């Protein structure tokens, strides 16, 4: 089978690494890929947000299966173009990808199927939004409606802060958008990943991440500085509750609307007193959450993604090991603010890499045979073991072995669960 993965981050390195282990995989191409992905697959330069370019590439390379990693090509309708042309594709349609691309859309779906989530209101006008906040009081959550690369959300502690966030949105900081204002939910956050073929659902793992850049969960938000799986807070009973009250109703509502969801649903949950409420959906694997999931699932992921794309999830089963995984992100100093690119990373060639320890590349490039930093999040050092402390020890052993003075990581990944 000839397989094409779209994307070039740590998530796609982990997907490629796992898919490569499945004997069904003959040829594996990742576009655009990165220096680490080049060790497990062919990399190809391609504008992955262009329907026409991706389609032409898939035709020219006799691709049998396309796996779409990031949200941007999904929001651009690349999966629709591929499926219309007859390519077996993993990833939701543009219409179904609205579950991530539009906060209003998700809230309306939740209301229609009675899925528990924060109370909300939407405004197209700053003055009304400000008045609503004044009436509701703080803390309160202000969100730009569209995709904002994780930067469109303000958890406001005070009314003044909330008003400032509303003004920034209507000043056009996130383009032409409206504002969604939500009740502040207290609790512990966890992520739940579920494959859906449009009708049937199959959970493929839980994880918790660390969004803040600094130790002790301080400082600005990032794309994620580390993650671990499973998330102890998402017990089996709670997973059943979430499937029953949130995930299955959402999948049924999407089908009822004529826009079935096919792909991975990443449910961000807030858990308090044995009850989970939905914070948000993403329509792709998380990065770096994917790294810990792939480390645990290994080569079977290809069979699961194929079953999902073929509408055969009812017959699919995950074979679980009683294991734990942790990933630690190494980022360029300055991230999530300004940072430099191009510094040389040493020690990678001597790393022992196997099914218990893998350094997945998030933002790297090859420069005359040397691996250099090419992004904010650069490496994701991932360990697996019989328990979380073993996974932790293996992840940090890779951090220690990597010689990259221009990088940094959080030393406390997993503190909540360890």
Binding ligand GLY (rule: CB under 6 A), the pick from 289, 305, 327, 361 is 289
Least spacing, CB of residue 392 vs ligand AMP, in Å:
23
Binding mask 194-233 for ligand GLY (x = CB under 6 A): ---------------x-------------xx---------
Binding mask 296-335 for ligand AMP (x = CB under 6 A): ----------------------------------------
Rounded CA-CA distance 264/287 in Å is 13
Binding ligand GLY (rule: CB under 6 A), the pick from 282, 359, 380, 398 is 282
184 sits near ligand AMP (criterion: CB under 6 A): yes
Length of the chain: 418
Peptide bond into 235 cis (omega under 30): no
Residue 25 has which token pair?
Answer: 């995989």
Binding ligand AMP (rule: CB under 6 A), the pick from 189, 303, 366, 412 is 189
Q: How far is CA 181 from CA 127, 148, 186, 211, in A?
A: 13, 15, 16, 21
Rounded CA-CA distance 333/370 in Å is 19
Least spacing, CB of residue 152 vs ligand GLY, in Å:
12
Rounded CA-CA distance 75/146 in Å is 11
Q: Check residue 140 and give left, alpha or beta (phi > 0: left; psi -120 to 50: alpha).
A: beta
Other CB atoms within 10 A of residue 131 CB:
12
Taking contact as CB under 6 A, which single stretch among the options 101-109, 164-172, 212-220, 286-294 is the one that binds ligand GLY? Answer: 286-294
Question: Of ligand AMP, ligand GLY, none, which one does residue 155 interact with (CB within 5 to 8 Å by kind)?
Answer: ligand AMP
**167-186 residues near ligand GLY, rule: CB under 6 A:** none
Rounded CA-CA distance 10/24 in Å is 23
Taking contact as CB under 6 A, which single stretch among the options 255-263, 281-289, 311-319, 342-350 is the one that binds ligand GLY? Answer: 281-289
Q: Write phi, then psi, for 78 (nearest 5 degrees).
A: -65, -35
Count of residues interacting with ligand GLY (CB under 6 A): 7
Question: Of ligand GLY, ligand AMP, none, which one does residue 12 interact with (CB within 5 to 8 Å by kind)?
Answer: none
Q: Which residues contact 25 (CB under 8 A, 6 or more apart)?
A: 1, 3, 19, 302
Q: How crowded is the C-beta side of 412, counted as CA atoms within 13 Å?
A: 11
| Sites of contact with ligand AMP (CB under 6 A) | 118, 141, 153, 155, 182-185, 189, 268, 279-280
| Sites of contact with ligand GLY (CB under 6 A) | 209, 223-224, 282, 286-287, 289
């Amino acid at each position: 089978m000839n397989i094409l993965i779209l994307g070039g981050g740590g998530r796609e390195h982990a997907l490629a690494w796992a898919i490569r282990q499945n004997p069904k995989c003959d040829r594996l191409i990742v576009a655009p890929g990165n220096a680490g992905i080049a060790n497990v697959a062919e990399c190809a330069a391609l504008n992955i947000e262009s329907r026409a370019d991706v389609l032409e590439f898939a035709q020219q390379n006799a691709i049998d299966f396309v796996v779409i990693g990031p949200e941007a090509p999904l929001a651009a309708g690349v999966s629709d173009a591929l499926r219309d042309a007859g390519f077996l594709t993993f990833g939701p349609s543009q219409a179904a990808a609205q579950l991530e691309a539009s906060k209003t859309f998700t809230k309306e779906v939740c209301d229609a199927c009675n899925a528990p989530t924060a109370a909300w209101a939407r405004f197209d006008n700053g003055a009304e939004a400000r008045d609503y906040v004044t009436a509701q009081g703080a803390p309160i959550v202000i969100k730009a409606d569209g995709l904002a690369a994780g930067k469109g959300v303000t958890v406001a502690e005070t009314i003044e802060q909330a008003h400032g966030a509303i003004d920034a949105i209507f000043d056009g900081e996130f383009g032409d958008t409206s504002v969604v204002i939500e009740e502040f939910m207290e609790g512990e956050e966890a992520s739940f990943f579920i494959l859906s073929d449009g009708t049937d659902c199959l959970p493929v793992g839980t994880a918790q991440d660390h969004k803040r850049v600094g130790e002790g969960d301080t400082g600005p938000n990032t794309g994620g500085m580390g993650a671990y799986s499973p998330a102890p807070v998402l017990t089996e009973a709670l997973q059943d509750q979430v499937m029953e009250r949130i995930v299955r109703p959402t999948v049924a509502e999407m089908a009822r609307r004529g826009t079935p969801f096919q792909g991975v649903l990443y449910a961000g949950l807030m858990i308090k007193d044995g009850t989970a409420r939905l914070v948000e959906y993403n329509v792709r694997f998380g990065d770096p959450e994917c790294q810990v999931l792939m480390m645990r699932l290994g080569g079977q992921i290809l069979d699961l993604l194929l079953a999902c794309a073929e509408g055969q999830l009812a017959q699919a089963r995950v074979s679980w090991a009683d294991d734990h995984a942790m990933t630690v992100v190494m980022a360029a100093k300055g991230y999530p603010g300004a940072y430099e690119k191009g510094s040389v990373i040493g020690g990678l060639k001597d790393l022992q890499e196997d099914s218990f320890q893998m350094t997945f590349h998030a933002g790297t490039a090859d420069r005359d045979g040397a691996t250099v930093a090419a992004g904010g999040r650069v490496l994701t050092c991932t360990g697996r073991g019989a328990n979380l402390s073993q996974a932790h020890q293996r992840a940090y052993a890779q951090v220690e072995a990597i010689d990259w003075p221009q990088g940094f990581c959080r030393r406390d990944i997993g503190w909540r669960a360890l």
